[in-house]
């Protein structure tokens, strides 16, 4: 029985992690464009407007 409780907790870790990271990405996105942290795609790193939009949109999706 302990195995099933362990698997249940492990299955809940990913959604909780996504909700926390989504909230952080939406509310506290990196201010400057960098290649280390944040939502990094070639299109999102074009300018500051696309950088901000990508973090806002991805953060809202992950938080749902």
Backbone phi, then psi, for 54, in 5-degree steps?
-65, -40
> What CA–CA distance (Å, rounded) separates 3 from 17?
21
Where residue 5 falls among pLDDT bands split at 50, 70, 90? very high
The 10s digit of each residue's pLDDT in 17-59 is 988 888 888 888 888 888 888 888 999 999 999 999 998 998 8
Estimate the crossing angle of helix 48-63 against helix 2-27, to 10 degrees.
150
- Are 47 and 6 in contact, with CB atoms under 8 Å apart? no
Per-residue pLDDT for 64 more than 80?
A: no
Q: Give the residue-averaged pLDDT of 4-10.
A: 94
Per-residue pLDDT for 63 more than 80?
A: no
């Amino acid at each position: 029985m302990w195995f099933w409780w362990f698997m249940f907790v492990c299955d809940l870790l990913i959604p909780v992690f996504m909700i926390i990271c989504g909230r952080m990405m939406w509310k506290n996105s990196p201010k400057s464009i960098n290649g280390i942290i944040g939502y990094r795609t070639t299109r999102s790193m074009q300018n500051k407007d696309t950088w901000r939009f990508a973090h806002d949109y991805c953060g809202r999706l992950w938080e749902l």
